[in-house]
Structure 1
């Protein structure tokens, strides 16, 4: 009886691993993973399930999102620029490296190249490729792009312009307030974009002196972020207006297309670009720029390096210390407890 229970548990885990596709299950029934019976998409699905995220793996949503984007890029390249996974050539690998190097910043290039090496090694180990093409994947050496200088007055104007990115007429006041709240939280909390999108109204806590957010960051580490009076006021107004408009959503950055879910990162990125265009600023500003401005101004205000590291959720003190290099550009920054309060 006990053996039967264990067998049932194993079969359940196997279905969770391979989904509803019996071909993926059959591919696992040898001393190596038999990839020759699968098409390119199925091979990537099995790589995801057995190599990146097996059923016993515990990876953060940030890691899952990054890996998903990397694999989508590989799959798109293979299906549009090559003869398929089985017929990849050394020339294909170099063409891939060129395209990645042209499109992405150096750190992203390294991550995407590492994913390709891992995937090609997977194909070789499981006897799909005779030779390991991962040998030809090398990071290209090029200088880091110059970072755009952070102008605090400009970024405040961009944050205020989030409310002007609403184009729809239906529930326009609510959408404007939602966008304004998102812009102001990006400006005054230093949260990563993915962290802000995951914030729920219930994550806002209050004590006798202030309001604060409980945020789960990378590697599921929790940290506490104080909120300014204006941020608290905007969130309270947003909740009230949602009740009046009979809109029910747990997330502050709620989606209008998918009930009960937050907006996507792509939607937030586009909103940020529209806010930049509204203030007629040259260039494009990603959501992460607000986080950089927040961290830099904290350090400019004399906040201790270790305190800033803990507040913004950096894993290494070296990451926080890198922001100090930007401070030589600033001279007249007012000294306040919280940036942009």
Structure 2
């Protein structure tokens, strides 16, 4: 088995059997390809079935000179998954990455926006333009429901349960969850559907897709990034803003207003409560108020 065959089979396994997202599968594939490029550049020729830990350690050592610890850890994660697959399929009896430690990267606190900054970005949308109501609806949905950008672009008309005030969201690993829908978010989605979407010549295969571009096809993740960056530039916002900033802000604002961490975990679709706990560290003001209110020395 050569590297190309191994990567092809590995990506198929990740997609079909593990149900991983297209982005995760692509990243895993790129991680392994980085190793292949390293081997080619040094005229090394071990196959995926006989490459040893020493060679992999050398690759990680060289990688550490080029990228930050967080990126290094992500590549190593992809390689661990690749060799775990080879062991699972009995192509190998050992995983050569088992004894390679990930770099210590600490916990990166997410960037957030204040409620006023969220309002300013959304207020900057030009509703006189054909895409105005769509952009307002999608940003209100992004912030009002705390969605990942991949979940936003994949949202369907049939996922809207307006009578029950919920939307059905398909997240990582094709796992589905129900997220509450506020009256305000529902209002802007309805305006978009009735005032703009009905006038778009929709491509049949995207007839159930909620947010469409002017050609009647599903929006791309890159387009959402572009919309947000243009709005930030328009109002002179210096912060680095992305679709995920809206998701982080959603969680932080819920916590600031007294929401239960478990409820936030469910709405975000986090498998582990540990992932959600990062927002406790972000909301320093809330922690100070808790200390002053409940601690004897407060």
Interval of TM-score (by shorter of Structure 1 and Structure 2): 0.7 to 0.9
Assess if the C-alpha contact under 8 Å between 1:178 and 1:252 holds in 2: no
Shift in Å, 1:321 = 3.2
Residues in 1 aligned to 2:107 and 2:261: alpha-carbon distance in whole angstroms: 24
Unaligned ranges ≥5, structure 1: 1-33, 167-171, 332-341
Pairs within 5 Å for 1:21-36: 34-35=1-2
Residues in 1 aligned to 2:258 and 2:109: alpha-carbon distance in whole angstroms: 25
Pairs within 5 Å for 1:65-84: 65-75=23-33, 78-79=36-37, 82-83=40-41
**1:101 equivalent among 68, 90, 95:** 68
Q: For residues 263 and 137 of structure 1, do their structure 2 counterparts lie closer, same or farther at Cα, with a shift above 3 Å needed?
A: farther
Check if 1:318 corresponds to 2:249: no
Assess if the C-alpha contact under 8 Å between 1:177 and 1:234 holds in 2: yes
CA offsets per residue over residues 136-175 of structure 1, 9 Å max, x none? Answer: 84322244445435422112322444x35x9xxxxx8332
Unaligned ranges ≥5, structure 2: 288-298
CA offsets per residue over residues 20-52 of structure 1, 9 Å max, x none? Answer: xxxxxxxxxxxxxx32xxxx5444213323x53
Q: For residues 95 and 256 of structure 1, do their structure 2 counterparts lie closer, same or farther at Cα, with a shift above 3 Å needed?
A: farther
Assess if the C-alpha contact under 8 Å between 1:156 and 1:187 holds in 2: no
Residues in 1 aligned to 2:143 and 2:102: alpha-carbon distance in whole angstroms: 34
CA offsets per residue over residues 192-222 of structure 1, 9 Å max, x none? Answer: 2221111112211132xx6321223334443
**1:297 equivalent among 253, 260, 274:** 253
CA offsets per residue over residues 233-261 of structure 1, 9 Å max, x none? Answer: 2222222222234445422232446x54x
Q: For residues 224 and 134 of structure 1, do their structure 2 counterparts lie closer, same or farther at Cα, with a shift above 3 Å needed?
A: closer
Q: For residues 227 and 132 of structure 1, do their structure 2 counterparts lie closer, same or farther at Cα, with a shift above 3 Å needed?
A: closer
Q: For residues 253 and 99 of structure 1, do their structure 2 counterparts lie closer, same or farther at Cα, with a shift above 3 Å needed?
A: farther
Residues in 1 aligned to 2:11 and 2:33: alpha-carbon distance in whole angstroms: 12
Check if 1:250 corresponds to 2:217: no
Q: Secondary structure at the match of 1:268?
A: helix
Equivalent position of 1:15 in the other structure: none
What TM-score do you get using the length of structure 2 for normalisation? 0.74
Check if 1:52 corresponds to 2:52: no
Pairs within 5 Å for 1:19-168: 34-35=1-2, 40-49=3-12, 52-53=14-15, 57-60=17-20, 62=21, 64-75=22-33, 78-79=36-37, 82-83=40-41, 86=45, 91-101=58-68, 106=70, 109-119=72-82, 134=97, 137-148=100-111, 150-161=113-124, 163=125
Figure out how many residues of one structure are paired with residues of the other and give that number: 271
Equivalent position of 1:225 in the other structure: 179
CA offsets per residue over residues 66-107 of structure 1, 9 Å max, x none? Answer: 1212322542674489427736955444222443426xxx3x
Residues in 2 aligned to 1:145 and 1:280: alpha-carbon distance in whole angstroms: 25
Q: RMSD in angstroms over aligned alpha carbons? A: 3.5
Residues in 1 aligned to 2:198 and 2:284: alpha-carbon distance in whole angstroms: 47
What TM-score do you get using the length of structure 1 for normalisation? 0.66
Residues in 2 aligned to 1:273 and 1:328: alpha-carbon distance in whole angstroms: 27
Assess if the C-alpha contact under 8 Å between 2:31 and 2:79 holds in 1: no
**1:177 equivalent among 133, 149, 152:** 133
